[in-house]
Amino acid sequence: MQLENYLQKIGLSDKEAALYVAGLQLGPATIQDLASESGLKRTTIYEIIKGLQEKKLVNQSQNNKKRIFIMEEPENVGLFLKQRESIFKQILPDLEALQNQKTKKPAVRVYEGKLGLEKIYDDMLKKPGEILALAAPKDLISKGMLEFLREDWEPRRIAGEIKLRRVNINLTGDHRRDYKIFPKPEEFEEVRYLSVDDYPFTIGIYAYRQKVAFVSYHKDEMFGIVLRSPTVNFTLRSMFEHFWSFNPLS
C-alpha cells in the first residue's frame, strides 16, 4: 500500500506502518482484530505497539478485561515529525563539530542549478549569526533566483532576525548613493553602495558562521561552492570589511 510506503519514509518501520494503517481503518480494536486486519502475527503485535506508543501514535484502554488499542489522529504523525526535527536540531551542532575533526581538513561542497543554490541560502539561515555579503549585480541574477531571494529567503531571514550586511553596486545612476551606508533596521539589514567603477564582483560571495559561499547565478553557469574553513572565513571577512569601509572620495 502506498500510504504505508510513505509512513516508512518518514520514520515508521514496515510493520509499524502496516499496523497503524490497519488500526486507523478499524477504530478501537483488540490484538486479534489488529492481527486479522494487518496480516501480522499476534505474537509480534505487542512489540510493534510499543514502538507506536513511543511515537505517541497509539492509545490503550480497557473494556471488560480486554485491552483495546486506538490509533491516534493522523495529525499526531506531524507531531512525531516535529519531535524528530527538534531532536535533530539539538544534535546538529555536535554532528557538525565531528566533521573532519581528526583530519582538520576544510569541508567543501558543490551545488548545481537553482535548487542547489537554494540549499546554500537555506544553510545560511539554519543558525543565528550575521551574514556578510559581497553581492552580485542584480542584472546578473536569473529571474527565478531573484524571486526566490525576494519572496522566500528574505522574509525567512527577517522573521529569524538574522542580520545581513551587504556591499552592493550602485546601478541607480544617482551618484549621491556611492559609498553611503543605508540602514534598514526593520529588515535587519545594512547596505553599502559602491560606484560602478569600483565594484569588481560578478558573483555573490558570503561569509557566515565558519563558512564561505561563492555563488554564480547565470543561467548557463548556475552553481555554488560552500567551504567550511575558519581561516578562509576570517580572510573573507577581512576582505568584506575593506570594501565596507572603502571610500576613494575621503
Confidence of residue 56 (pLDDT cuts 50, 70, 90): confident
CA 44 – CA 47 distance, rounded (Å): 6
% of the chain exceeding 90 in pLDDT: 44
Grid look-up 481503518 returns 25
The segment(s) of the chain belonging to CATH 3.30.870.10 are 107-245
DSSP H helices in the chain: 2-9, 14-26, 31-38, 42-54, 75-98, 113-124, 143-148, 154-159, 230-245
Which residues 6+ apart lie within 8 Å of 86 measured at CB? none
The segment(s) of the chain belonging to CATH 1.10.10.10 are 2-78
What does pTM read for this prediction? 0.62
pLDDT in tens, 155-183: 999 999 999 999 999 998 888 899 999 99
Radius of gyration of the chain (CA): 26
Q: For residue 99, which phi and psi values (nearest 5 degrees)?
A: -60, 125
In the prediction, which pLDDT does 9 show? 80
Looking at residues 91-115, what average pLDDT do you find? 72
- Report the CATH fold assignment for 2-78: Arc Repressor Mutant, subunit A (1.10.10)
- Report the CATH fold assignment for 107-245: Endonuclease; Chain A (3.30.870)
- CA 189, 190, 195, 198 torsion: positive or negative? negative
| Dihedral in degrees, nearest 10, Cα atoms 90, 93, 98, 99 | 120
Average pLDDT, the chain: 87
pLDDT in tens, 224-245: 999 988 899 999 999 999 999 9
Q: How many CB atoms lie within 10 A of CB 116?
A: 15
Give the residue from 240, 225, 243 showing the smallest Cα distance to 132.
240
What's the one-letter identity of residue 157?
R
Start-to-end C-alpha separation, the chain: 71
% of the chain exceeding 70 in pLDDT: 94
In the prediction, which pLDDT does 24 show? 86
